[in-house]
Chain A
Amino acid sequence: MESSDAALVSRVLHGEVNAYGALVSRYRDRYARYAVHMLGNREDAEEALQDAFTRAYRSLPRCEDPERFGAWLFRILVNRCRTSGARRVRRGQTFVHDDGALMKASEEHPAEQTMWREEIERAVGELSPDQREAFLLKYVEDLGYDEMAEITGVGVSALKMRVMRACDRLRTLLREVHSG
């Protein structure tokens, strides 16, 4: 039977460092998706996710509700993505596509679908970081506004506004692609 998050956290806290591997395995793919879409490429996403796991390990005794380790880790990841995104803006780096994912998609899907995916990723990359974060949390991670507020520290009404603006912007960007 699969151990609960709380049981694994407890084992790590009692010195069984390898139990942390089970938590990494449990959450890595689930949260990689958010990081890839948020940061726009796999390399930065993996780095942010590694940082999040490492910081979570260092701060494990501060996880107040080990049963919700995943939610706590996600909050750390969201913060790491913000930091990583800000750093990239300072470096003047532009968004690039996840070439590995696109290559894989081109093998599995018809060309039209690959193009559609590419357009979506480009449009999401065009959103401001705040709007992208809110949109991904709401629609892709399927979180409620209260959870989003808890994770981001932003008020519910501001989040609703960001999501609405993100939808408007995506609508415009994707229409431009198809009308141009």
Chain B
Amino acid sequence: MAEWGRTTLEMVVQELQQPVRLDASFERRVMVRVRRLYAQRRRRGFGTWLGVASRVTHHPGWAAALAAGIVAIVTAGVLRTRPPVSPSASSVFEPVQFVLVAPAAQSVAVVGDFNDWGLNDSALVATNHQGVWSVTAPVPAGVHRYAFVVNGKEWVADPSAPRSAGDDFGLPSSALIVEDSTK
């Protein structure tokens, strides 16, 4: 064999750069998965569910009066907390209220793995109450990742929730545990 050097490295690289061709069924298999996800999201139909607050969040720097009120709601949520559910999402949906205080925001939406990160206009649009943005929606029991989208472009993790691990996408997100109330 030729002496190892630049030339040999080039030969190694040349071999490794040979194209790898997948058969035509690969694309079909991916699209079957994708269409299934699309159909699931449509079936899920995230509408408006008014219900119990189980997660309330805020930005640092709240007015003291507001903060006091929010702390009370957080406490109510904690009192309802049960042991953690299994990490997989189930078919049982529980109402979850998302709240973010962002007085300067023009819009706030909630996106997460439970609504395909807002794919196809599925983001949960929050309503503004004097700078306190909130929305309540059904979320499957299980462990989820979510984030707030402020003004349609700024991704904000929940400052009071744990950051989710293993984020592949380079954007902040938070972890959410939704308990199954039927158990």
Contacts and interface: CB of A to CB of B under 8 A. Distances in A.
To the question of whether A and B form a pair in one complex, the answer is yes
Interface of A: 12-15, 17-18, 20-21, 24-25, 28-29, 32-33, 36-37, 42, 45-46, 49-50, 53-55, 57-64, 72, 75-76, 79-80, 98, 101, 116-117, 120, 124, 136, 139-140, 167, 170-171, 174-175, 178
| Chain B, interface SS category | helix
Nearest to B169: A62
A18 B28 CA distance: 11
A124 B171 CA distance: 32
Contacts of B170: 64, 75
A50 B168 CA distance: 15
Given A36-B20, A75-B169, A116-B11, 16 more contacts: A20-B31, A33-B18, A42-B20, A46-B22, A46-B26, A53-B34, A54-B30, A55-B168, A59-B117, A62-B169, A64-B171, A76-B169, A98-B20, A124-B16, A171-B8, A174-B12
A34 B148 CA distance: 34
B29 A50 contact: yes
B16 to A, nearest CB: 5
Interface residues of B, number: 40
A151 B52 CA distance: 41
B30 A140 contact: no
Contact of B20 (A12, A15, A75, A101): A101
Interface stretch (B43-51, B72-80, B118-126): B118-126
| Chain A, interface SS category | helix
